[in-house]
Chain A
């Protein structure tokens, strides 16, 4: 009896050892991430509360002025605008894809995946060319007689929003499509059986069921927009200053590590908070190409 118990205990211990040795396979990756992500980010936290070798909140206090308020305001405004526009444009396409037969949905998906896979820089460049004074869009509008003089579409707020919207749209459509696909069509059949017309059935049955996907896609787009750098830097023409650009300026141009770190910490805390909210709606790994 005791022998059998000992044996069972021994087996369990053996299994635990085995589990941990298998877990060890993830250590090289974890070490790399610790050294190159957690260590440097921890360092930035430290730098943000140090001034002249002493603990101080001076870097954070300096953020509380009109310039920085303006930067945060613009960053949030652009991010919200891009998120709302991406949802308005993305939902109809994701909805249609979820209703189409798989073959057709697959073809539509290609239209989302090609820009998703194309370099962000290349797409930003494409918009720079399209939106410039003598670019395709101004030329077409003029040829059609819709405008007399070319519109200022780039090197400003408008250009930044258009470019970011294009880059963020796949990040909205992919999680939305994944969520809309799982809505059971039987609910819609039941609704129509009970006499609801297509429009009523959509708004009272389908749309509420798609809300988790809407939240997931919107929060993801919002987070990514908050940290945007390349597109506003190129399409904003120096007129649009977002948080990331200010961080780059402080670190790369002025070598003001304290200011750069404090701004970075604020951006990081906001991002992580929204991410935490997001993680309550869905398994976040799903968003990044998994599943």
Chain B
């Protein structure tokens, strides 16, 4: 087996063994740190050891029993859901408009829409904070939702645009020539076929908002402190094992969302 060529132009599997080993180590480096937190979160001591010395759910109990942590979780989920609801339709509309109009400066406009991904977030944080102070919307849910929508929009735009590029727009023209209005044609012909990319964009929007830390450091606080902001502050001061429990839950949530994404895009 090892002595068989790896491909028609390649050396044997044995000759390429080092590549498998290096790639395997890199994959371990990528994945282990993510999952090592989960067993540790069941530790029964204040000091996180691996393997944990005893099993307990005390850090989960400490998370679920703390009104501050619960409040922060509620704020984060509210903001993430609202951000998804704002960014997804705006992103779909923009992607569709830029794709269909075919004007020459469409590419420029789409670059303008993805600038929030390029500008260092700290600069956006300072700028938006300054703006919000003037508008008096620091530490409010709508303020957070708008700021997070800016970060989520590019992901929706990019995924939906790539969906539209793989879709034959003539189908919509056919529907319209048979009497469907533009909206009906979009809703009944185009939309079902780009659903996979829309789901991907929406999931991206949700996770972007849920995980966002830096802007929240500036514009979330008091009653409306987000979960990640509270975690960040907690980490700066001491390693509170409660954060291991929260981290484990967030990791599981990410993996579940990734699975949904993979499954919805596989059906095609």
Chain A residues in contact with chain B, CB under 8 A? 19-20, 22-30, 32-33, 36-41, 43-44, 47, 89-90, 92-93, 95-97, 99, 108, 111-115, 117-130, 132, 134-136, 139, 166, 169-170, 185, 188-189, 191-192, 198, 201, 223, 226-227, 229-230, 233-234, 244, 247-248, 251-252, 257, 260-261, 264, 267-268, 271-272, 275, 284-285, 288-291
Contact = CB atoms under 8 A, between A and B. Distances in A.
B106 A23 contact: yes
B170 interface: no
Contact of B101 (A23, A223, A251, A289): A23
B19 A26 contact: no
B115 A33 contact: yes
A261 B228 CA distance: 25
B158 A40 contact: no
Interface string B53-83: 0000000000000000000000000000000
A169 B207 contact: no
A126 B36 contact: yes
A99 B153 CA distance: 34
Contacts of B123: 41, 44, 227, 247, 264, 267-268
B239 A119 contact: no
A114 B28 CA distance: 12
6 contacts: A37-B127, A38-B115, A93-B22, A119-B228, A120-B213, A227-B121
Contact of A99 (B10, B207, B254): B10
A188 B258 contact: no
A233 B106 contact: no
The 3 closest A-B pairs by CB, nearest first: A227-B120, A40-B127, A25-B97
Interface in B78-122: 90-91, 93-94, 96-98, 100-103, 106, 109-122
Contacts of A260: 126
Interface string B116-146: 1111111111111111000000000000001
Nearest to B121: A227
Given A114-B254, A264-B122, A30 B154 contact: no
A251 B109 contact: no
B34 A118 contact: yes
B130 A26 contact: no
B109 A290 contact: no
B108 to A, nearest CB: 11
B60 to A, nearest CB: 16
Given A99-B6, A129-B239, A119 B254 contact: yes
Interface string B194-224: 0000001000100100110110011000000
A121 B213 contact: yes
A64 to B, nearest CB: 20
A226 to B, nearest CB: 7
B122 A198 contact: no
